Amino acid sequence: MVAAIELYFDGDAQARLRRLWDALESAGVPSLREHTHRRHRPHLSLAVARRLDPEPVADAVRGLLPPDGLTVEFTTVGQFPGRVLWLGPTVRPDLLALHLAVHERLSAAGVEVAGVYRPGVWVPHCTVSQQVPWAGLARAVGLCLDALPITASLRSAAVVDHTRGLYRPID
């Protein structure tokens, strides 16, 4: 999966997450800082697909992010298969409502997304590493736990397609 609707954090939270990326890199754990094209921003993905056409997707979900943003608090560390390490926010009704609204609009527009991002299945998270070396796992989890909690305001969003190098802000 290489295309997504990503939510971005306020400056303070983004700086804290980038410092965590730096700490992971210093400990020999690859972070998103150095992953693939090296243009990743700390984010929370609402939907992911093999391909998303930026204009129709942005049009479909425009106006859903509250004007004052949405506050989340990262309080947990988790891991997905493939040694993907992430921070998880406390799940709140407003975050779930935003996620559901995005998927309702995407479905109405005929946009297919990955099953693990659909309502009722989605695990909200901010990925910090895509491939934690087994030997560095305990250290990586410790660095993540030391960084928590992180309160973040979700302030902006974009449709991104990393394979095609596309980035389309959502108004």
From CA 37, how far away is CA 163, in angstroms rounded? 9
Half-sphere exposure of 66 (CA within 13 A, CB side): 11
Residue 39 pLDDT grade (very low, low, confident, very high; cuts 50, 70, 90): low
Domain count, the chain: 1
Q: Is the pLDDT of residue 38 over 60?
A: no
Residue 37 pLDDT grade (very low, low, confident, very high; cuts 50, 70, 90): low
Reported pTM: 0.93
Average pLDDT, the chain: 93
For 10-22, the pLDDT digits (tens) are 999 999 999 999 9
For 54-74, the pLDDT digits (tens) are 999 999 999 999 988 999 999
The enclosing domain of 10 has a CATH number of 3.90.1140.10
SS3 content of the chain, % helix, strand, coil (to 5): 35, 30, 35
Residue 40 pLDDT grade (very low, low, confident, very high; cuts 50, 70, 90): confident
Domain carrying residue 103: 3-170
Residue 151 pLDDT grade (very low, low, confident, very high; cuts 50, 70, 90): very high
CB distance 65 to 154 below 8 Å = yes
For 79-126, the pLDDT digits (tens) are 999 999 999 999 999 999 999 999 999 999 999 999 999 999 999 999
CB distance 154 to 2 below 8 Å = no
Q: Is the pLDDT of residue 32 over 90?
A: no
